[in-house]
Amino acid sequence: MIETVLIYGLVNSVTLILTAIGFSLTFGLSGIANFSHGGLYILSGYSAWMMMHYIGLPFALAAVLTVIQVGILGGLIYRAVIMPVRGIVLSEVVATFAVGVAILEFFRWRGFVTYDFNLPLFIKGSIGIAGVFIDYQRLFIIGIGLMLAVILWFFTHHTRIGLALRGMAQDEYTALSLGIESDWAATLSMALGAALAAVAAIIILPLGIISINMGYDVLLLALAVTILGGLESTNGLIVGCFILGYARVITGTYLGPEWMEVIYLAAIVLVLVVKPSGLCGKSKELEERV
Amino acid sequence: MKKGYRKERLDRGIKARTDDIFAICSPREIAYIALPRFIVIGALLMFPLLAVLTGIYWQNVLIITCTIALLALSWDLLASAGLVSLGQALFFGAGAYVTGFLSHHYGWPPILSVPAATVTGALLCTMLLYPVLRLRGIYFGLITFAMPLLMMRIVEATKILGGTEGLSGLAPLPGMKVELYVIITVTLVCVFGFRRLIDTDYGLVLRAIRDNDRAVMAGGINIQWYKTQAVFIAALPATFAGAFLTHHYQFVGMPAFALEYSILPLTSVIIGGTGSFAGAMLGAFILVPLSEVLRAFGTLRVVIYCLILLVFAIGLPEGIFHYIQRKYYQFERLVPVEEIKK
Amino acid sequence: MSQDLILKVSNLAKNFGGVKAVNDVSFELQEGEALGVIGPNGSGKSTLINLITGFVKPSGGRIIYRGENITGLPPYKIVSLGIARSFQMAKPFYNIPVFKNLIIPLYSSRARKLKGGAYGDRDEAAIHFLEDVGFERDSQVPYKAAGALPHGYLKRLELARCLTLEPDLIILDELFSGMSMSEIASILPLLAKIREEGKTLIMVEHRLRELFRVVDKAIVLNFGGKIAEGTSGEVMDNEEVRKAYLGSEVLSGA
């Protein structure tokens, strides 16, 4: 029992990290709450599916193409939709949300709602670890998820571009004076976030079928973990994912699956009451230095 | 345009619209200012009497329209205090479930349960949102977006309040005409009441919190407390809308927290224009009937909304109402261009 | 002038992350005195103000106002005790008329208490306070949108916003910054009048020459710590002060 909880808790947590990391990255780097995240996630799933079934590409190629294509789409969304309203937070959210919902509902309208839509597993089969059976795909998810988290941490902390982007998020004026162009940085952050959504979709979606409503769930999950961990904070995201991931599995195992979803709200409300800026959020007190 | 002429715009309303020196000069001026609102009030009050023309279908549409308008008004008041809500469904659902609970378990008649649900629901929402009022800007929005959806999950998971089945067979409202008049009156009272409220000194304080909260704090005002009041006042029309529609359908269930009760009011305000309340109402009166017309398109109509939303959010950020208002108060006339002598 | 202790700051400290923005600062202020706070950029002057007025919670130390511990109280409570502040960046409510800007402080619980529980005619009171800082009642200026005011008037509006609260202790954060010599010259009598009324004053300033025409003594901050305290002569002759200033910028006055 305890082994199951440990292993599936890890799977759950890493899945959450993968799901939310694109949203969190975009928000952390450019302050854009990309509400089309769920739409892009599902779009990636369908896009890979269409490439395989309409054009007949192998899955690996379709996956790579999808990531690139959705990444470019993310950048385009910034250029076409966000840039004209940049700085007006409400309009940013509304515009990206409109894009996301438009994508999802377009697919629903085109009839992408049956059980035919699923992606193949990367690796078939399963393995027993400490008496718990787990399929290779889930192990693969853990591997990719942790790898991505490390790569991103390295990218934002040790590469020139990453540092530039982070600088932008912290102090736009100084960054501007250092010759970092804000629109370029934001375009890149949107593209990266979108590409990460696509990566997540391509390795998580094979576990089940692709459904439209999952798009809304993904957005909600991404919001929930970022709120819990503290917006803008990468560490917070990971902490939030692990807390929610394990909390879900523990409640699911011991209390019954119907309580799994309740734990979100309970956790979030609790954190908000105690620390409104999230577990690792920078405190949003009115602080200023000289 | 005629050659040698240019277009000149004149603002004709200035004299009568000056904030404090409210000068009414002639019956014409009075009519000029008062007519638009009397046309709106008159048209709405006449609507229920024209049942022969409109039919029960459009009367139902009007009720939904007013519901969305109330949610949009609520949104606009919150936004006036700098609180951008992305989850009006929270208020709607709170009102709906409280009245459903009172009606189902205690058999309260709507005349008691609706007002009780309006106040209790608003109180509950205020308490729920109180801790996050300290957060500014997008943070409040993100949290309000997530809340109703999570509430839905809770109801689904814990099976309280009827779970996925909902509570059905609730007490009906006493007839269509009464229903229409109640909701129309409440909507009108809210529009004009809020417009007046925001112009008082109290409203000024709320708007000031939105513009520069530090200056307001330095002015010796407890902004947390004022924001709390704003949330409570703004929640009232929304919880009322939820409670009212619950009795209209005689049913309350998880759809009370559905995303559309968050999106439709927001879209209405964006189409109509923020800050004026009239814009919020106008937006709802465009959007909801339009969505009825588009019903044949199935889910494609949601795509169409989103495109409309994009066009307005990017192309006409001031909204239709402000645009019309500006045009209404302006003359255009051609004046000869003066020759520049060399 | 009475010699009662009005403000006592002891060992006040504030850390932002690892940075000590204010480090172990103590000073005392008598009723009716005027104190200048000077120091190079980034020396913690504004943070000190924010700490006293409750905009920033201190990491350590105590602030005693008239025998009452006000450390860490929220800003509105501190205002209601009679401490008002201005901001370095005067950001009025741009879209509303100038006099309506003063409605905000007039709506506070302090203003209501002073009026015996009633608010009275706030518009009239607002115009009255504007007159006090040199706006002309009969001109159009008080009725224009605040965003259209020139910089000098914005600063006067900031001052009026403080006075509206009828405070006993006024804290002015760089009132003179961005003002021309003539604008400063015209605002000096206002400050003199405030002092005559027995109000206590704390001024954060870069313009030292003008500052010392108003205040009796000053404290000097550098890297968050207090390095000197005394009258203008004492402060300016202090070796450490000269070093601090020459190290970062050219001494702008004295």
- Our CA angle for B116, B117, B122, nearest 5°, is 110
| Rounded Cα distance, A25 and A40, in Å | 15
Residues A101, B306 contacting (CB under 8 angstroms): yes
Helix (H, G, I), strand (E, B) or coil at B9: strand
Residues A199, A18 contacting (CB under 8 angstroms): yes
Closest CA to C199 of C171, C232, C160: C171
- The larger pLDDT score, comparing residue B263 to residue B192, is at B192
User: Does some domain include residue C141?
Assistant: yes
User: Does some domain include residue A290?
Assistant: no
Report the amino acid identity of residue B273.
Answer: G
Which of B26-30, B158-162, C200-204 shows the lowest mean pLDDT across its residues? Answer: B26-30
Report the amino acid identity of residue C15.
Answer: N
C34: left (phi over 0), alpha (psi -120 to 50) or beta: beta
Give the residue from chain B lying closest to A102, CA to CA: B303
Cβ-Cβ contacts under 8 Å for A259 (sequence gap 6 or more): A251, A252, B157, B158
Residue A145's domain spans which residues?
2-274
User: Does some domain include residue C253?
Assistant: no
In angstroms, the separation between the Cα of residue B206 and the nearest Cα of chain C is 9
| Rounded Cα distance, C173 and C209, in Å | 16
**Which residue has tokens 């008082």?**
B200
Give the residue from chain B lying closest to A260, CA to CA: B157
User: Does some domain include residue B342?
Assistant: no
| Rounded Cα distance, C90 and C159, in Å | 10
User: Does some domain include residue A283?
Assistant: no
- B129 vs A278, B255, B259, CA distance in Å? 15, 21, 18
Split into its structural domains, chain C has a count of 1
Residues B48, B180 contacting (CB under 8 angstroms): yes
Helix (H, G, I), strand (E, B) or coil at B337: coil
Residues C234-252, buried b or exposed e (16+ Cβ, 10 A)?
ebbebeebeebbeeeeeee
Q: What is the DSSP code (8-state) at residue B279?
A: H
Tell me what pLDDT residue B24 has: 58
What's the gap between Cα C6 and its chain centre? 15
Residues A22, A193 contacting (CB under 8 angstroms): yes
Give the residue from chain A lying closest to B215, CA to CA: A286
Q: What is the DSSP code (8-state) at residue B2?
A: -
For residue B198, how many other CB atoms are within 10 A of its CB?
19
Please identify among residues 212-251 of chain B the ones whose CB lies closer than 8 Å to any CB of chain C: 212, 214-224
Q: Does A287 touch chain C (CB under 8 A)?
A: yes
- C107 vs A33, B118, B195, C1, C166, CA distance in Å? 36, 29, 20, 31, 13
Query: What does the pLDDT look like over C82-131, one tens digit per residue?
Result: 999 998 877 788 788 888 888 888 888 888 887 766 666 788 888 888 88
Please identify among residues 212-271 of chain B the ones whose CB lies closer than 8 Å to any CB of chain A: 213-214, 217, 259, 263, 266, 270
B131, B298, B310 member nearest A95 (Cβ): B310
Cβ-defined contact of B299 to A105 (cutoff 8 Å): yes
Question: Chains near B, with 3+ CB pairs < 8 A?
Answer: A, C
Give the residue from chain A lying closest to C17, CA to CA: A282
Query: What does the pLDDT look like over B34-78, one tens digit per residue?
Result: 888 899 999 998 888 887 787 888 899 999 999 999 999 999 999
A90, A102, A226 member nearest B303 (Cβ): A102
Residues B86, A220 contacting (CB under 8 angstroms): no
| Rounded Cα distance, A57 and B252, in Å | 48
Q: Which burial class, exposed, middle or buried, applies to A37 when counting CB atoms under 10 A from its CB (0-12, 13-18, 19+)?
A: buried
Query: What phi and psi values does residue C27 have, to the nearest 5 degrees?
Result: -160, 165
B20, B221, B222 member nearest C104 (Cβ): B221
| Rounded Cα distance, B324 and B329, in Å | 9
In angstroms, the separation between the Cα of residue A94 and the nearest Cα of chain B is 7
Q: Does A258 touch chain C (CB under 8 A)?
A: no
| Rounded Cα distance, B191 and B13, in Å | 21
Cβ-defined contact of A289 to C16 (cutoff 8 Å): yes
Cβ-defined contact of A289 to C55 (cutoff 8 Å): no
Q: Is the pLDDT of residue B9 over 80?
A: no
Q: Does A286 touch chain B (CB under 8 A)?
A: yes
**Which residue has tokens 């949300």?**
A97
User: Does some domain include residue C254?
Assistant: no
Tell me what pLDDT residue B156 has: 82
Closest CA to B86 of B141, B32, B34: B141
Please identify among residues 16-75 of chain B the ones whose CB lies closer than 8 Å to any CB of chain A: none
pLDDT band at B133 (very low <50, low <70, confident <90, very high): confident
> The domain that contains A59 carries what CATH number?
1.10.3470
Give the residue from chain A lying closest to C58, CA to CA: A287
Residues A56-67, buried b or exposed e (16+ Cβ, 10 A)?
ebebeebbebbb
Closest CA to A102 of B295, B142, B270, B305: B305
Tell me what pLDDT residue C117 has: 60
A85, A98, A231 member nearest B139 (Cβ): A231
Instruction: Specify which residues C14 forms β-bridges with.
Output: C22
Closest CA to A223 of A191, A264, A282: A264
Split into its structural domains, chain A has a count of 1
- Our CA angle for A81, A87, A89, nearest 5°, is 80
| Rounded Cα distance, A221 and A23, in Å | 10
User: Does some domain include residue B54?
Assistant: yes
| Rounded Cα distance, A103 and A110, in Å | 11
> The domain that contains B36 carries what CATH number?
1.10.3470
| Rounded Cα distance, C48 and C26, in Å | 11
Contacts 24+ apart (CB under 8 A), B10-15: B10/B330, B10/B331, B10/B332, B10/B333, B11/B329, B11/B330, B12/B329, B12/B330, B12/B331, B13/B328, B13/B329, B14/B329
**A289: chain C residues, CB-CB within 8 Å:** 16, 19, 21, 42, 46-47
- The larger pLDDT score, comparing residue B241 to residue A266, is at B241
**A287: chain C residues, CB-CB within 8 Å:** 16, 50, 56
**A286: chain C residues, CB-CB within 8 Å:** 55-56
Q: Which burial class, exposed, middle or buried, applies to B138 when counting CB atoms under 10 A from its CB (0-12, 13-18, 19+)?
A: buried
Which one of B299, B304, B305, B312 would you mutate to disrupt binding with A, by most A Cβ within 10 Å of its Cβ? B299
Q: Is the pLDDT of residue C76 over 50?
A: yes
Cβ-Cβ contacts under 8 Å for A18 (sequence gap 6 or more): A141, A144, A145, A148, A199, A200, A203, A204
Q: What is the mean pLDDT of residues C224-238?
A: 84
**A223: chain B residues, CB-CB within 8 Å:** 142, 145-146
Q: Does B303 touch chain A (CB under 8 A)?
A: yes
Residues A212, A104 contacting (CB under 8 angstroms): yes
Residue C76's domain spans which residues?
5-248
C43, C55, C57 member nearest A290 (Cβ): C43
Closest CA to B136 of C94, C32, A31: A31
Regions of chain A short of the pLDDT cut 70: 168-180, 231-232, 281-290
Instruction: Specify which residues C9 forms β-bridges with.
Output: C27, C63
Tell me what pLDDT residue B245 has: 94
Q: Does B17 touch chain C (CB under 8 A)?
A: no
Cβ-defined contact of A287 to C56 (cutoff 8 Å): yes
Q: Is the dihedral of CA A239, A244, A250, A253 positive or negative?
A: negative
> The domain that contains C153 carries what CATH number?
3.40.50.300
Give the residue from chain A lying closest to C48, CA to CA: A290
Cβ-defined contact of A84 to B314 (cutoff 8 Å): yes
Which regions of B182-329 does DSSP assign to beta strands (E)?
251-252
| Rounded Cα distance, A75 and A195, in Å | 10
Element spanning C10, H or E: strand C5-16
Give the residue from chain C lying closest to A289, CA to CA: C47
Split into its structural domains, chain B has a count of 1
| Rounded Cα distance, A210 and A114, in Å | 9
User: Does some domain include residue A183?
Assistant: yes
User: Does some domain include residue A288?
Assistant: no
Residues A97, A35 contacting (CB under 8 angstroms): yes
Helix (H, G, I), strand (E, B) or coil at B142: helix
Element spanning C63, H or E: strand C60-65
Cβ-defined contact of A261 to B143 (cutoff 8 Å): no
- Our CA angle for C71, C77, C82, nearest 5°, is 95
Residues B258, B90 contacting (CB under 8 angstroms): no
Cβ–Cβ pairs < 8 A, chains A and B: 123
Q: What is the mean pLDDT of residues B119-127?
A: 96
Continuous H helices in B133-175: 138-158
User: Does some domain include residue B64?
Assistant: yes
Two structure tokens written together for B299: 């889910």
In angstroms, the separation between the Cα of residue A122 and the nearest Cα of chain B is 32
Tell me what pLDDT residue A47 has: 92
Cβ-defined contact of C103 to B204 (cutoff 8 Å): yes
Closest CA to C241 of C40, C48, C46: C40
Q: Is the pLDDT of residue B194 over 90?
A: yes
**Which residue has tokens 């040199």?**
C134
User: Does some domain include residue A286?
Assistant: no
Cβ-defined contact of A94 to B259 (cutoff 8 Å): no
| Rounded Cα distance, B170 and B101, in Å | 9
Q: What is the DSSP code (8-state) at residue A258?
A: G
**B218: chain A residues, CB-CB within 8 Å:** none
pLDDT band at C246 (very low <50, low <70, confident <90, very high): low
Please identify among residues 196-255 of chain A the ones whose CB lies closer than 8 Å to any CB of chain C: none
| Rounded Cα distance, B268 and B187, in Å | 15
What is the pLDDT of chain B when averaged over all its residues? 86
User: Does some domain include residue A106?
Assistant: yes
User: Does some domain include residue A287?
Assistant: no
- Our CA angle for C155, C159, C162, nearest 5°, is 145
Tell me what pLDDT residue C1 has: 43
Element spanning B185, H or E: helix B176-199
Q: Does A284 touch chain C (CB under 8 A)?
A: no
Residue B171's domain spans which residues?
5-336
